[in-house]
Structure 1
């Protein structure tokens, strides 16, 4: 046997061994499709695939962060022992009580009644509304956004923070570290917050020289504002002008369309508990939880709301479990709005099964995309959805529909920061709010009606006739989406 043959045999044996080792290590506690995708990457491009797995192949946060999450969960559970106070539980669909029990088991926070909630899908109007609420703050303002930039559009918000500090109100701000590095005016924003005396920390920082390191694409994607545990906001919107300061967005005329909600009532302290948990994770400082007793009087017209945090600080895919359960319970209608729709297998099966049962299902997505890989990956699911009878509405360009919500049977809804995609289910820290209340659902249906009016419906025939190049890109992007 020649020296060349020996080298070839050694390389071949090493390659097989690498494949077997990858199959054993990668498959542990991982979904089969995801594991197969990683093993194929490691086998077919060994060095690149193995390096990528070591960098982004581990889907949970470090143990010390998960321990802090469990510690605060225990405090929250202790605070909420005993009967929950809800506004109109007798009117709930039969499956909602088990869903709220599931959520409490996953995220520790209860369903609470007595909330007034208003929806706002006007970008500037939402910023003005948040600024007005901050101007009423007396004790503390907690700000947590994936992206936070002090610019012309968000100036009213930041100026309200300055006025609050001038009154002696405590202002704490959490911004995602990687997202802060990706957008302009980072230094100007930090300088402004420092100048007014706000306490600012970055979430999930990547500073290995300080011992701050985890999988780099595990991000904190939450968006919330909590004021004195009495007024709060959450939804899809980031604190940045609606074109995100990106030249390509400006060149294409793109701007973001969002949905936020203003909450007044007991659910705000649950939003605040999410902030307090993340503040503890980043600073080591455990702020005091609001333990005020909840009293409901004549609350039958008010809204029941349950905050559900999710993400890699938990041991379970919290929102995935809730969303899948809800879709399976539908008997009249399912309406989903998600800018990035790359569903987990269980979600896809729930949607296809529900449509096959004869339940009308509709999906609102953008006609155009701002992220090429996700845009093409989500398009790869359209054929199966259309064949199952799902109606797909493409929100007309140049608006990018960035709202994230869905409703079941015009009775129950979820609004928050979570997309209907694998990244939001497993990799991003998200916040969702489960909601029941007839007036709020009527308002959300009106929002969905406006989406329909500003969309074009996708038909199966023209979709199947799209160019071969587009079909190839869609299918390739779908494969890469499994590398989670």
Structure 2
């Protein structure tokens, strides 16, 4: 029990003056340091935290306030075009074709060519063909397709996923990886450290990889006791599988059971709903270049540059035009960051008839919100597909805080019903462009996470994606403004408070 003398104690004048001086110094320094290379909303979020709780705010800022990854890692990411065999990453007027090749985007609408040029300028990667593109919407079937590809591998298996765990659903794939390694196939596995760490089956997977002598690395490891540290909430969120430089899988699905093996998910019978794309052809080399740059970043291995690729035929049966978009805090050093945000914004403003977007975590920054609401107000059919249920309560609450503004602008919101967690990430613009993504439409995917998106410029492919949209719509309810405005005041308050946390980046 505290004594009365302690309760009546007051600090000496010098102590109060010192505390006040330190407090003022923290605030003044923060005013000049925090806004550096940060959008105003993010700067204000950090400044509010520091001004209200100076010590806690400063500690958080020091731990998670740095936007970029270390320079050596960024230099390796800059090598992606060279690794892909692209011999000219910039400096020319023709940004859509490899050096010495014709501009194969000439047949595309002008606004699509603008997007291609922008993406080439941001990433150094040109438009190239895929000879086949298979949309995989069944979670189990997608795992089986990757497994069969690994079983048939002759030269190389490259797997890079945000989450990878050993469980009943991934067991056939893990066995296929072990057998491929045993028969002499070059196997390399990357998994995000923090992304995978909290899931049942991660430790078991690590033990099996080690026991089998299979080369693998944690992506962006946070183990300061081993000298491994960077901002812990910058994560490698890519989902990539490349087999024999011939086949690649990209999209939103992780290598884990559809329930994510969490007890609360099993209790509620929740199942993740994802979308992956299987592609063949020259685009595979560009996907693999992103993998190899990340592998080099984590392993320290040097990756020999590929020779410039010979121009590939861009037309013919089954060929579609694709462009790989790597983005994130570690990519494109010396260039504009947020490559995915810039491409998305360009497409939103270019849309004439429709914007269809599926994103499990929709927490847009200002420019995205303005672009989408502006498109709706000028008559574009803007449809947003999100989940009614979510595995991230804070993010889900923040997402809900944007619904009123979107609905008032004319955006149609479809909420996918439980027990499915809608985790697919894709974007359709008019009848011409689709983006199959690992990126969410949120500030984390735009400013922090390392992502891998694929832009497909092909009308037949977009029509195939329309069938996916129709299936999602059948399993969704349409949110009305009156219904949304009648929700309890307590929910509105919590949603708005959670929205404030979105600015801390």
Normalised-by-shorter TM-score class = over 0.9
CA distance in 1 between counterparts of 2:202 and 2:395 reads 26
2:284 maps to 1:268: yes
Query: Do residues 217 (structure 1) and 238 (structure 2) align?
Result: no
Q: CA deviation at 1:297?
A: 7.2
Q: Distance in 2 between matches of 1:251 and 1:373?
A: 21
CA distance in 2, matches of 1:190, 1:359: 48
Cα deviation, residue 49, structure 1 = 0.7
Give the 3 Å change call, closer, same or farther, for CA 114–254 of structure 1 in structure 2: closer
Matched with 2:338 is 317
Counterpart Cα distance in 1 of 2:101 and 2:263? 49
- Alpha carbons 2:351, 2:430 under 8 Å: kept: yes
Task: Measure how far apart 1:13 and its partner are.
Answer: 4.2
Alpha carbons 1:206, 1:216 under 8 Å: kept: yes
How far the C-alpha of 1:20 sits from its partner, in A, is 1.7
Q: Whole-Å Cα distance in 2 between the matches of residues 243 and 114 of structure 1?
A: 32
TM-score w.r.t. the length of structure 2 is 0.91
Task: Describe the superposition over 1:174-233 as per-residue Cα deviations: whole angstroms up to 9, x where unpaired.
Answer: 011112321122232122223443211111111223321100111101000011111010
Partner residue of 1:171? 187
* Residue among 56, 64, 72 paired with 2:64: 56
Decide whether aligned partners of structure 1 residues 195 and 44 sit closer, same or farther in structure 2, where only a CA change above 3 A counts.
same
TM-score by length of structure 1 reads 0.95
Give 2:316's match in structure 1, choosing from 281, 299, 313: 299
Distance 2:388 2:189 in 1: 34
**How far apart, in 1, do the equivalents of 2:317 and 2:168 lie?**
41
Take 2:295 and 2:212, find their aligned partners in 1: how far apart are those partners?
Answer: 19
Q: Which residue of 1 aligns with 2:256?
A: 240
- The number of aligned residues is 482
Q: Give the corresponding residue for 1:455.
A: 476
Structure 2 spans left out of the alignment, 5+ residues: 1-9, 90-97
Aligned with 1:154 (options 170, 188, 192): 170
1:433 is aligned to 454
| Counterpart position of 1:24 | 32
CA separation in 1, counterparts of 2:70 and 2:130?
37
Q: Distance in 1 between matches of 2:368 and 2:149?
A: 37
Cα distance in 2, alignment partners of residues 11 and 351 from structure 1: 47
2:395 is aligned to 374
Q: Which residue of 2 aligns with 1:389?
A: 410
On the 8 A contact 1:266/1:294 being kept in 2, the answer is no
Long gaps (5+) in structure 1: none
CA–CA separation in structure 2 for the residues paired with 1:79 and 1:116: 26
Say if 2:245 is the partner of 1:229: yes
8 Å Cα contact 2:130/2:279 also seen in 1: no
Q: Among residues 192, 196, 202, which one is paired with 2:218 in the alignment?
A: 202
RMSD of the alignment, in Å? 1.9
SS for the counterpart of 1:95 is helix
What's the secondary structure of 2:384's corresponding residue?
A: strand
Report Cα offsets for 1:53-98 as digits up to 9, x if no partner: 1110111101111122224445544277414578x73441211222
Alignment match, 1:113: 129
Residues 185-194 or 66-75, more deviating: 66-75
Are the counterparts in 2 of residues 223 and 235 from structure 1 also a CA contact under 8 Å? yes
Q: Is the partner of 2:131 in helix, strand or coil?
A: strand
The answer (yes or no) to whether the contact 2:101–2:311 under 8 Å persists in 1 is no
| Whole-angstrom CA distance in 2 between matches of 1:438 and 1:468 | 45
Give the whole-Å Cα distance in 2 for the aligned partners of 1:353 and 1:393.
Answer: 19
SS at match of 2:133: strand
Residues 144, 79 of structure 1: CA spacing in aligned structure 2 closer, same or farther, 3 A cutoff?
A: farther
For 1:186 and 1:3, the matched residues in 2 are separated by 51
The answer (yes or no) to whether the contact 1:256–1:401 under 8 Å persists in 2 is yes
Distance in 1 between the 2:223 and 2:211 partners? 24
Equivalent pair of 1:226/1:272 in contact (CA under 8 Å): yes
Q: How many Å apart are 1:352 and its aligned residue?
A: 0.8
**Whole-angstrom CA distance in 2 between matches of 1:270 and 1:181:** 28
Distance verdict in 2 for CA 1:114–1:42, change over 3 Å: closer
2:477 counterpart SS class: strand
Task: Give the secondary structure class of the aligned counterpart of 2:421.
Answer: strand
**Once the 2 structures are TM-superposed, how far is the Cα of residue 251 of structure 1 from its aligned partner?**
1.4
